[in-house]
Chain A
Amino acid sequence: MQATDLMTMEEIEILDFGYPQNSETGALKTFITQQGIKSQSKEEQSQITSQVTGQIGWRREGIKYRRNELFLDVLESVNLLMSPQGQVLSAHVSGRVVMKSYLSGMPECKFGMNDKIVIDKQGKAGSNEDGAKSGKQSIAIDDCTFHQCVRLSKFDSERSISFIPPDGDYELMRYRTTKDIILPFRVIPLVREVGRTKLEVKVVIKSNFKASLLAQKIEVRIPTPLNTSGVQLICMKGKAKYKASENAIVWKVKRMAGMKESQISAEIELLPTNDKKKWARPPISMNFEVPFAPSGLKVRYLKVFEPKLNYNDHDVIKWVRYIGKSGIYETRC
C-alpha cells in the first residue's frame, strides 16, 4: 500500500478527534495491514477488534513458534558527576530491561530480580541462610516504570512483575538506582597552570571491577581552553589526539581489564590573550562499555506459564545479557 495512505489511516487509528487511541506498533500493524486484504472470515475481523479494544491490546491470539525462545538484555547507563577531589556529587544508574520474546500462545510470565524489597520480604518469611546470602547482593531500586503489559496493581501490592508479553521486541521495564553503584572507572585529573601561556594536564583512569572482565570502547575527553595553540601528549595505552575543532583532547583505549590503571599527560600551550575572563574548565567526560550491570542488578528468574499449550517453563530457551554503558560520566577539573 502507498505510504501516504498508510500514514493517514494510521493517524486516524492512533488519534480520533484528537484523542489518542492506540500507539502500540504491534497492534497497529495487524490492524492496518489486514484491511487491505479483501475477504476475511468473521472470526478474524472480530479478533482484530477485540484485540484493539480488549484488555490485552498488545498481543494477538494464535501465535505459534516451533522453538519458544526468550532474549533478555539488561542495559544500564551509569551517570556520574564527581568533584576534582574525587567526591561523588551525584551518581545514578538508569537501566532498561529489554526483551525479545518468541513464545507461542498467550503465555503468562513472571520476572524476578534481586530487588531488595522482595528479598527482604522473603528473608523475613522464613528461609534462613539462603535469604541472608542473597540479601547481601540485593539492590535498592529507587523507582521503576513498566510496559503497559505489566499488571501494575499487582506490582504495587506484592511487588511481583507479572505480564503477558507482546510478541517480538519490547522494553519491559525501566528503573533507576542511586545506592551502592559500582562506578566502573575513576578519573583523577590534575591541572596545573604554568605561567600564562602553559597548562599541564595529567589524567589517571582506574578501572574498578573484576580483573577477569574487560571494558571496551573507552574514550576520555579532556576539554582544552579556546586559546590553545599546541598540545604535546604522552599516554601509556591507546591513542590520544588533540582535536582543535572540538577544543578537546580525545584519548581512546580499545580494551582495558578490571583493576588496572592508565594515565595520560598533556602539555597545552596557550596564546596570550587579554581576555580577563577565566577559562570555565568544563568537566572531563568519559565513555565506555562494560559487560556487567553497574547497579548490581541480577535477574533471578523469568518464568513462563502457558496452561493451554503443552510446553512448560523448562522448554523455553532463555538468554540473558548484561551491558553497562556510560551515560553522562563527568569529573570536574
Chain B
Amino acid sequence: MTDSKYFTTTKKGEIFELKAELNSDKKEKKKEAVKKVIASMTVGKDVSALFPDVVNCMQTDNLELKKLVYLYLMNYAKSQPDMAIMAVNTFVKDCEDLNPLIRALAVRTMGCIRVDKITEYLCEPLRKCLKDEDPYVRKTAAVCVAKLHDINAQLVEDQGFLDTLKDLISDSNPMVVANAVAALSEIAESHPNSNLLDLNPQTINKLLTALNECTEWGQIFILDCLANYTPRDDRESQSICERVTPRLSHANSAVVLSAVKVLMKFMEMLPKDLDYYGTLLKKLAPPLVTLLSAEPELQYVALRNINLIVQRRPEILKHEMKVFFVKYNDPIYVKLEKLDIMIRLASQANIAQVLAELKEYATEVDVDFVRKAVRAIGRCAIKVEQSAERCVSTLLDLIQTKVNYVVQEAIVVIKDIFRKYPNKYESVIATLCEHLESLDEPEARAAMIWIVGEYAERIDNADELLESFLEGFHDESTQVQLQLLTAIVKLFLKKPTETQELVQQVLSLATQDSDNPDLRDRGYIYWRLLSTDPVAAKEVVLAEKPLISEETDLIEPTLLEELICHIGTLASVYHKPPSAFVEGSRGVQHKRLAGSAGSGESVESPDTGSAAGVSEAPPAVIPSQGDLLGDLLNLDLTPPTATGPPPAAAPGMQLGAMDLLGGGLDSLLGGDIGGSPAMGAGFGAPPAAMPASFNAPVSGGLDDLFDLGGGVGMTMGSYTPPKTVWLPAMKAKGLEISGVFVRRSGVIQMEMTLSNKAMSVMSDFAIQFNRNSFGLAPAGPLQILTPLSPNQTIEAALPLSTVGPVMKMEPLNNLQVAVKNNIDVFYFSCQYPISMLFLEDGKMERQVFLATWKDIPNENESQFQIKDCHLNSDAASNKLQGSNIFTIAKRTVEGQDMLYQSMKLTNGIWVLAELRVQAGNPNYTISLKCRAPEVSQCVFQNYEAVLKN
C-alpha cells in the first residue's frame, strides 16, 4: 500500500466526506477514514471539525485504530477542551484493559492532553497504573506523573503521587526505577528547596544496582541523578566511583559523558594522595579520547566537554596531546576547539611538539584557523616560560611570510609577550616596524602603537612613526585612538624636548575634535596631569605594569564548577549555565562541586577554594552585585488583590541613579569644552598658568559627581518623614509615586502616594523589588483595588519583610523598584533610611558592649563629624532612641559627654557607636564600630538625619 494517496486528496468538501466515512458502519472504511484524517493533520490541515466523529471511533478493539485516534486527541484536545471530556470514559476504561500495552497507552496519552478538566479524571487511573503489576505500565505511569505535574503541580502534591513516585525508586524493575528517577528529577527542578529526591546511602545503593541492569537511556537518568548526590565521606565517594567506572566502556557516548560527570564531581571528595585517585585519573582518559573518533559533530560536543575537564583537571589528559592534533580534513569548528585544548595542555614536556604543529597550522588556508594558530603560539610563549624564545623566533619566521593576516596576528601576540617578559625581546622591534604599513586591522594597529609607545626610547624614529598614524586620527577606531593618545604621551614623557608639538596635537585632537567621551576624558586626564605635575604624570603613565597572567581565557572558577556539574548537557557545549538559555519558571539551581575536606585541594586550585569559601561565610558578607538591569527586567509582577489604607503629601525630589550620572557627566563635559582651546604652549608651566575657566568646571563637575552618593541619602529622616517623589509623572506615562519608609511597632512599611496625572484610568497595580542589600521584599501584594481615575490620588501602605533575596547594592541602602500597571512597567530606585532596619531589641548589655567593642578590630572603626547640631546629649539620646538606637551608658569627661550606643540590624549585624557631645560645641564626633564596616556610612547618615530633624 502506498502512503502518498492520503496526502494528495484536495477535493472540495473533503471534511464532509471524511465525516461520512467516519460514521460508516464498516470497520475497514472507518479505519481508512481515520488514517486520512491523521494524514491531513500531519501535513498541517485543520481537521479539528471532525473531533466528535473521531472520538466516536475510539471505542474499538483494534489497537491500530485506537492508537491513531489517541494521536488525534493529543493534537486537538487543547483546542476543544469540552469535547475532550467525551473521551474521558474510554480512557478510564482503557486504563483497566487486560492488555498492558493498552493500559500504558491510555495513561500515556491522557498525560499528553493538557486540558485542566481532564487532569481531574486522570488521577484515579494514574494511581492504579502506578501500582500496576506490569512494569511497562508502571514505567509509563511514572513519566505521566511528571507530565501531570507540569500541568497542575498542586494536584500532584495533593493526590500524593510524589510519595508513590518515591516508592517506585525501590521498584524491582530497573526500567521503572530509571523512569521514576527521571520524573522525580524533573519535578525537583521546579522545587529547588524541596527534599523530593531524598538521596541517602540506601537509595543510592538501589540506584547503583539498577544502573547495571537498565537500558542505556535509563542509565543516563540514573547517572544524572547520582551526580546531584553529595557523599558523606571519601570512602563512600570511592565506592560510588568504583561502581560507576564500568559505564565508561559503554557504546553510547551520552552514557559515557554522564559517567564522566559523576566521576569528576565525586573526585573532588577524594584525597589526592589516595591510590584510587590516580587510578581514576588514568581510567578517565581513554574514554574521552575514544569520543574523538566519532563523527565531527559528536567530536565537537566531546571537545567542548573536554575543554571544561582540562581546565579543571589538566592531569587527566596531559599525556594525550597527540589526539588533539588537527587533521587536515577536520571541519573548522573541530579544528578551533582542538587548538584551544592543545594550548591548555601545553607544558614544558610537550612544547616542542606543540610548536611544530602550530607552525604547520599557520601555513594553512583557512584564515580563522591560521589566526588562531598564530595566537596560540603567543599563548604558549606566555604559558611556558622556557619556550618563550622559541615561540618568538617562530613568530618572526611567520612575519617573514608577509601574509597580511599572519603578520597582524603575530604583532598582536608579540605585544602580549612583551607584557609578560618586559625588556627581553626588544631586538624584534625593528622587524616589526618594517611591517607598519601592512597593518590594517584596528587590533594590530593598536598593538603596534602600544609597542612603539612602550619602547619609544629605543626606537629612533618613534616620533615619526606615531606622527604618521596621527594623520588619519579621526578615521581610526576608538581602540587605536586611545592607544595612540597614550603612546604619544609616553613618548613625550620619555623625550620631552622633541615631541612637545606632537603631544599638543594629539591632546587637542582628542579633547576638541572627538565625540567619544572615553577619548576626551583620557585626553583631559593626561592634559591636567602634564600641566599640574609632570613628575606625577611620569609616575602614572610610565608606571610599571603588572605582568599579565598565564592564561587569560580560563572560564571563571565558579562558572567552571557549575558547568562541570552539567557535563553532557547543552550547557557544557555552550559553556553557559542553563539559566542563561533555558526559558521558563523553573527555579534556577546553581550546582557546584563539593569541595574535599581540606585534603590538599588548595594546592591545585586556590581560586576555587576561596570562591567556595565566600558563599559559606557569615551573613555579614553580602553576595556581589550581579546584572542589575537583567534582574529587574526579570521580575515577576503579581496582580493586586485587595484595597489598602492611607498616609501624606510630597515635597523633595529624587531621581534614579542613572539620571544623576547622566546629568553630572553632561555638565562636566560641557564645562570642559569651553576651557580647553585656551591652553596653548605652557605644558611644563606651573598650574597657575592654566586658564581658570578650565580648572573650575572640571573639578566642580567631578565633585558633584562623586558627592551624589552621599547627598541623596540625607534627604530622608526617619523621624519626621516627608514623602519624596520617587517616580515623577513624566517618566512613568502619567503615574507619579512619592513615598517614604517608616517603621511602626516593628513593621517596616513603605507608604506611597500614587497620583494619576494622565488622561486615562490606571488599574492592575503591582510592585516588585530587585534584590537588595538587606533582603527587603514586599510582605504582600500592593493593595490598590479600585482603578485610579485621572487626577485622582491614592494612598497605599506596603508592609515589607526582610527575608527576600540579598545582593549588595551601591549605596548600601539603595532599593530598586518596579511598579506595574495596566499601561506599562516602570522602574525607579530609592533609598531607605537604615534605621528602618534597626530592631527594637537592639539594646546591648553593658558587659557585652564592652567586650564586643574590644573584640571588633580597630580597622573596622570609622569616625564622622556631625556639624551644626544644637541638642544636648540627653535630647540627642532620646531622639535616637525613637529610631531604635539605644544609649547603653553615658560618661562625662572634661565637659564632654560620651554616649555609648548600640543598634541591631534585621540581618543580625550589631553596630556599636560612641557619640561625643561637647557642651557649647555644635559639632558632634561619632565613632562607629561594626563587623561589617560597609554599613557605617549609612548609619552615620542616619544619625545626622535623625539629629537634625
A271, CB-defined interface residue at 8 Å = no
B856, CB-defined interface residue at 8 Å = no
How many whole Å from A326's CB to the nearest CB in chain B? 13
Complex: chain A residue closest to B173, CB-CB: A53
Task: Please name 30 pairs of A and B residues whose Cβ atoms are closer than 8 Å in the assembled complex, sorted by A.
Answer: A2-B6, A3-B3, A5-B38, A5-B64, A17-B112, A19-B179, A20-B217, A35-B63, A40-B99, A49-B134, A49-B136, A50-B136, A54-B173, A57-B175, A142-B289, A143-B289, A143-B290, A146-B250, A148-B250, A148-B251, A152-B246, A152-B247, A153-B212, A153-B243, A153-B246, A156-B245, A174-B251, A276-B402, A278-B363, A332-B360
B649, CB-defined interface residue at 8 Å = no
Question: What is the bound-complex CA distance between A312 and B121, given in angstroms?
Answer: 55
Question: What is the bound-complex CA distance between A223 and B947, given in angstroms?
Answer: 88
A196, CB-defined interface residue at 8 Å = no
Q: Given that A89-B325, A176-B293 are known contacts, is A8 also in contact with B71, CB under 8 Å in the complex?
A: yes
List the one stretch of B139-147, B566-574, B924-932 in contact with chain A: B139-147
Q: Which residues does chain B contribute within 8 Å of A49, judged by CB atoms?
A: 100-101, 104, 134-137
A90, CB-defined interface residue at 8 Å = yes
Question: What is the bound-complex CA distance between A12 and B147, given in angstroms?
Answer: 14
Q: Given that A4-B39, A143-B286, A152-B249 are known contacts, is A90 also in contact with B325, CB under 8 Å in the complex?
A: yes
B252, CB-defined interface residue at 8 Å = yes
Q: Which residues does chain B contribute within 8 Å of A173, judged by CB atoms?
A: 251
Query: Does the CB pair A90–B322 fall under 8 Å?
Result: yes
Complex: chain B residue closest to A226, CB-CB: B365
Interface of chain B: mostly helix, strand, loop or mixed: helix
Question: What is the bound-complex CA distance between A54 and B175, given in angstroms?
Answer: 7
Question: What is the bound-complex CA distance between A25 and B35, given in angstroms?
Answer: 25
Q: Which residues does chain B contribute within 8 Å of A142, judged by CB atoms?
A: 286, 289-290
Q: Which residues does chain B contribute within 8 Å of A243, judged by CB atoms?
A: none
Q: Which residues does chain A contribute within 8 Å of B252, judged by CB atoms?
A: 148
How many whole Å from B368's CB to the nearest CB in chain A? 15
Query: Does the CB pair B6–A174 fall under 8 Å?
Result: no
A137, CB-defined interface residue at 8 Å = no
Interface residues of A in 197-219 (CB under 8 A from B): none
A16, CB-defined interface residue at 8 Å = yes
Query: Does the CB pair A45–B99 fall under 8 Å?
Result: yes
For the complex with contacts A19-B217, A282-B328, 7 further pairs of A-B residues with Cβ separation under 8 Å are A19-B182, A53-B136, A54-B175, A148-B215, A156-B245, A174-B293, A283-B328
B111, CB-defined interface residue at 8 Å = yes
A282-296 vs B, CB cutoff 8 Å, 1 = contact: the mask equals: 110100000000000
How many whole Å from B251's CB to the nearest CB in chain A? 5
Query: Does the CB pair A17–B62 fall under 8 Å?
Result: no
Q: Given that A2-B1, A53-B135 are known contacts, is A280 also in contact with B174, CB under 8 Å in the complex?
A: no
A155, CB-defined interface residue at 8 Å = yes
Complex: chain A residue closest to B360, CB-CB: A332
B440, CB-defined interface residue at 8 Å = no
Query: Does the CB pair A17–B147 fall under 8 Å?
Result: yes
Question: Count of A-B contacts with CB under 8 A?
Answer: 165
B230-263 vs A, CB cutoff 8 Å, 1 = contact: the mask equals: 0000000000000101110111100010000000
Complex: chain B residue closest to A3, CB-CB: B3
Select one of B215, B217, B364 contacting A280, CB under 8 A: B364
How many whole Å from B407's CB to the nearest CB in chain A? 11
Query: Does the CB pair A145–B290 fall under 8 Å?
Result: yes
A81, CB-defined interface residue at 8 Å = yes
A144, CB-defined interface residue at 8 Å = yes
Select one of B140, B174, B245 contacting A16, CB under 8 A: B140
Question: What is the bound-complex CA distance between A46 and B135, given in angstroms?
Answer: 10
Query: Does the CB pair B363–A22 fall under 8 Å?
Result: no
Complex: chain B residue closest to A173, CB-CB: B251
Complex: chain B residue closest to A48, CB-CB: B101
B162-199 vs A, CB cutoff 8 Å, 1 = contact: the mask equals: 00000000000111100100100000000000000000
Question: What is the bound-complex CA distance between A20 and B217, given in angstroms?
Answer: 6
B479, CB-defined interface residue at 8 Å = no
B868, CB-defined interface residue at 8 Å = no
Q: Which residues does chain B contribute within 8 Å of A89, judged by CB atoms?
A: 322, 325
Query: Does the CB pair A152–B212 fall under 8 Å?
Result: yes
A23, CB-defined interface residue at 8 Å = yes
Size of A's binding interface in residues, CB under 8 A = 64
Query: Does the CB pair A156–B1 fall under 8 Å?
Result: no
Q: Given that A4-B38, A53-B136 are known contacts, is A42 also in contact with B98, CB under 8 Å in the complex?
A: yes
B327, CB-defined interface residue at 8 Å = yes
Query: Does the CB pair A2–B245 fall under 8 Å?
Result: no
B894, CB-defined interface residue at 8 Å = no
Interface residues of B in 19-67 (CB under 8 A from A): 35, 38-39, 42, 61-64, 67
Complex: chain A residue closest to B321, CB-CB: A90
Query: Does the CB pair A38–B136 fall under 8 Å?
Result: no
B216, CB-defined interface residue at 8 Å = yes
Question: What is the bound-complex CA distance between A155 and B283, given in angstroms?
Answer: 13
How many whole Å from B42's CB to the nearest CB in chain A? 5
Question: What is the bound-complex CA distance between A151 and B3, given in angstroms?
Answer: 42
Query: Does the CB pair A280–B365 fall under 8 Å?
Result: yes
A36, CB-defined interface residue at 8 Å = yes
4 smallest beta-carbon distances between A and B, as pairs: A143-B286, A49-B136, A152-B246, A156-B246
How many whole Å from A225's CB to the nearest CB in chain B? 12
Query: Does the CB pair A53–B176 fall under 8 Å?
Result: yes
B68, CB-defined interface residue at 8 Å = yes
Complex: chain A residue closest to B41, CB-CB: A4
Query: Does the CB pair B139–A146 fall under 8 Å?
Result: no
Q: Which residues does chain A contribute within 8 Å of B401, judged by CB atoms?
A: 277-278
Question: What is the bound-complex CA distance between A144 and B287, given in angstroms?
Answer: 8
B403, CB-defined interface residue at 8 Å = yes
Q: Which residues does chain B contribute within 8 Å of A330, judged by CB atoms?
A: 327-328
Interface residues of B in 48-93 (CB under 8 A from A): 61-64, 67-68, 71
Query: Does the CB pair A21–B67 fall under 8 Å?
Result: no
Interface residues of B in 457-483 (CB under 8 A from A): none
Q: Which residues does chain B contribute within 8 Å of A92, judged by CB atoms?
A: 293, 323
Query: Does the CB pair B71–A5 fall under 8 Å?
Result: yes
A147, CB-defined interface residue at 8 Å = yes
Question: What is the bound-complex CA distance between A8 and B250, given in angstroms?
Answer: 28
B157, CB-defined interface residue at 8 Å = no
Complex: chain B residue closest to A32, CB-CB: B67
Q: Given that A148-B215, A148-B252, A278-B401 are known contacts, is A35 also in contact with B287, CB under 8 Å in the complex?
A: no
Q: Which residues does chain B contribute within 8 Å of A144, judged by CB atoms?
A: 249, 290
Interface residues of B in 341-364 (CB under 8 A from A): 360, 363-364
How many whole Å from B245's CB to the nearest CB in chain A? 6
Complex: chain B residue closest to A35, CB-CB: B63
Query: Does the CB pair B251–A152 fall under 8 Å?
Result: no
Q: Which residues does chain B contribute within 8 Å of A285, judged by CB atoms?
A: 328
B329, CB-defined interface residue at 8 Å = yes
Q: Which residues does chain B contribute within 8 Å of A332, judged by CB atoms?
A: 360
How many whole Å from A79's CB to the nearest CB in chain B? 8
B575, CB-defined interface residue at 8 Å = no
B108, CB-defined interface residue at 8 Å = yes
Q: Which residues does chain A contribute within 8 Å of B62, judged by CB atoms?
A: 38
Select one of B3, B63, B139 contacting A53, CB under 8 A: B139
A328, CB-defined interface residue at 8 Å = yes
Question: What is the bound-complex CA distance between A46 and B61, given in angstroms?
Answer: 18
A25-65 vs B, CB cutoff 8 Å, 1 = contact: the mask equals: 00000000001101010100110111011110100000000
Q: Which residues does chain A contribute within 8 Å of B363, judged by CB atoms?
A: 278, 280-281
Select one of A19, A90, A150 contacting B323, CB under 8 A: A90
Select one of A2, A176, A281 contacting B35, CB under 8 A: A2
Query: Does the CB pair B67–A5 fall under 8 Å?
Result: yes
How many whole Å from A19's CB to the nearest CB in chain B? 5
Query: Does the CB pair B251–A23 fall under 8 Å?
Result: no
B213, CB-defined interface residue at 8 Å = yes
Select one of A22, A52, A143 contacting B217, CB under 8 A: A22
A171, CB-defined interface residue at 8 Å = yes
Select one of B101, B217, B290 contacting A174, CB under 8 A: B290
Question: What is the bound-complex CA distance between A69 and B403, given in angstroms?
Answer: 63
A1, CB-defined interface residue at 8 Å = yes
Question: What is the bound-complex CA distance between A36 and B67, given in angstroms?
Answer: 10
Q: Which residues does chain B contribute within 8 Å of A265, judged by CB atoms?
A: none
